[in-house]
Amino acid sequence: MCSHFSVFSYGIPVQTASAGCLPGYLPLFLTGSLAGLDPVQIWAAFGLAAIPSCFFWHQLVQRYGYRHSFWVNLVLQAVGVLLPVISHGLVFCLASALLVGFTFMGTVTIALPEARRLAGVVSFNMIAAMTAVYGIGQIAGPLIAGELYSLTGSFNPSLIAAALCLLAAGILVLIPSGQRAVTEEEV
């Protein structure tokens, strides 16, 4: 079964958390903590991890289904977001870039086909709605992260909030929508 709310929940929590907080600020963690390292190199690790991820997540969905795969994706992404909270050192930031890069594109790989599958079930264009909510997350994420930084002088609260959003989205994915749940056989 699949909850259309859980597919739609992809937008704000995931994109506010991942796109808004971590990738934009991860290189900043390294600027002051590791002399001689160009923080932009972390972006390369993020991108390199994203390249094969779509194939992996597609295969995972084929093998274990949408709900389980999406949950694993969101939990792993939350772990990746939290790594710099544990330490701003190179190993943790690099692991964070790899883990979030690997899961970030996987989120889209998992959510969009599910939204397309639900197109005949909901009364609105799910992909258009997800795209609009993604845009809101792209705007809101950095604003929220910037405000939390100005209040605390640390990116840790932003990362914790982002991880909590990802975990909340993961929980939503696991909750069936009851009578309105749609199985793959029904569509």
What does the domain layout of the chain look like in residue ranges? 4-180
The two three-digit tokens of residue 161, written as one number: 């909030």
pTM: 0.80
Q: ∠117-98-39 over CA atoms, to 5°?
A: 130
pLDDT per residue as tens, the chain (187 positions): 344 444 444 444 455 455 555 555 556 666 655 566 677 777 888 889 999 999 999 999 999 999 999 999 999 999 999 998 998 888 888 899 899 999 999 998 998 888 888 877 877 888 888 888 888 888 888 888 889 989 999 889 989 998 998 999 899 888 876 544 455 444 4
Please provide the CATH number assigned to the domain covering 4-180: 1.20.1250.20
The per-residue pLDDT for 93 is 85
